[in-house]
Amino acid sequence: MTPLPSAQQLRYLIALADLRHFGRAAQACAVTQSTLSAGILALERQLDIQLLDRKVGKRVVFTPIGDEVAARARHALDALQTVQAVADASRAPMTGLLRIGVIPTIGPFVLPGLVSRLHAQFPHIRLSVNEDLTGNVMDKLVLGRLDLVLLAMPCACEGTETLPLWRDDFMLVLPARHPLAALEAISVERIGTERMILLEDGHCLRDQTLAVCRQERGWSTPDSEEEFVVTSLYTLVDMVADGLGLALLPRLAVESGILRDLPVVVRPVTGCQAWRTIGLAWRPRSPRAADFRLLAPHIRPPSVTAPPAD
């Protein structure tokens, strides 16, 4: 009997087809690059076909048959994952392992209370939590390494089912001595000439901040040598307190106490669509979709006063 490709081999192939980069595909699969490369090569030998065109240098280019095999591998892996998901769904709701991904601009403000609330409400569930950038958790969701993702929309979440939970307004954070601090609310036009502190590339909040600021026609991204880029919201508010610029901060973070008595003030932004939507994402046709919808009302922290999603 001809041996069939393993689920792990299919994961390697799909990750490489999606990311077109051996290093990022290996990271998405939580293996070394050499392990992933060896797995792809073993699959080629097993199938006796060439999946990759290795005559084009360092670029990852699939052969026509490679593209077809990758597409069929995706369907096959979905079917395999459905087998376990159907078994999980056949038991009582919210039982068994639930692997949740969450992004860094949500996790610190939701996870501490969320885990205890879920354990109290659903004592038979086993939670596994992975915090990472939006692109990474979405890759893991597609590859079947996560069941559910808590994220901020708009984002690149095409090809998944999403459920909006609540609207998370953006608040302008500025030094207490800044001239604009005297205003009760600040229009987007007033921040058009201000230096904005941004999160680094890969954070959806960076893109969302730029989208808000660009609604003011006079605003443009600062020159790279003048731009302040940080890796966390905690560093961001520290830099605002030091007078290095202004920043947009989600209400979720503000109401969770991130400002820590720093010499800053927070003001609402007017004159534009200044909010993000917190929501859930999962793979299409997941047998556990009913579980995810049952989970949704328990996500929002009780201290958050945000309105429901539109």
CATH of domain 169-275: 3.40.190.10
Q: How far apart are CA 213 and CA 40, in angstroms?
A: 44
pLDDT of residue 210: 78
- The pLDDT confidence band at residue 303, using thresholds 50, 70 and 90, is low
**165 three-class SS:** strand
Q: Which two tokens stand for residue 286?
A: 């997941």
Q: Which two tokens stand for residue 164?
A: 């909006």
Least confident of 159-173, 205-219, 253-267: 205-219
- The pLDDT confidence band at residue 224, using thresholds 50, 70 and 90, is very low
Partners of residue 152 on adjacent β-strands: 278
C-alpha of 144 from chain center: 15
Q: Which residue has the higher pLDDT, 156 or 76?
A: 76
Contacts of 192 (CB under 8 A, 6+ apart): 213, 216, 217, 218, 219
pLDDT in tens, 93-126: 777 889 999 999 999 999 888 888 888 888 888 8
- The pLDDT confidence band at residue 307, using thresholds 50, 70 and 90, is low
Q: Which two tokens stand for residue 86?
A: 């159907």
Q: How far apart are CA 262 and CA 242, in angstroms?
A: 9
Residue 178, pLDDT above cutoff 90: yes
Q: State residue 241 phi and psi, 5-degree precision.
A: -60, -30
Q: Give span(s): CATH 3.40.190.10, the chain.
A: 94-166+276-299, 169-275
Average pLDDT over residues 209-231: 62
Average pLDDT over residues 48-68: 90
Q: Which CATH architecture has domain 7-87?
A: Orthogonal Bundle (1.10)
Model pTM? Answer: 0.71
The domain made up of 94-166+276-299 has a fold known as D-Maltodextrin-Binding Protein; domain 2 (3.40.190)
Q: Which of 180, 179, 203, 184 is nearest to 253 (CA)?
A: 203
pLDDT in tens, 243-289: 999 999 999 999 889 998 899 999 998 877 788 999 999 998 888 89
Q: Which residue has the higher pLDDT, 158 or 98?
A: 98
- The pLDDT confidence band at residue 217, using thresholds 50, 70 and 90, is very low
Q: Where are the beta strands (DSSP E) in 74-117?
A: 96-102
Q: How far apart are CA 251 and CA 44, in angstroms?
A: 50
DSSP string of 267-290, one letter each residue: EEEESS--EEEEEEEE-TT-TTHH
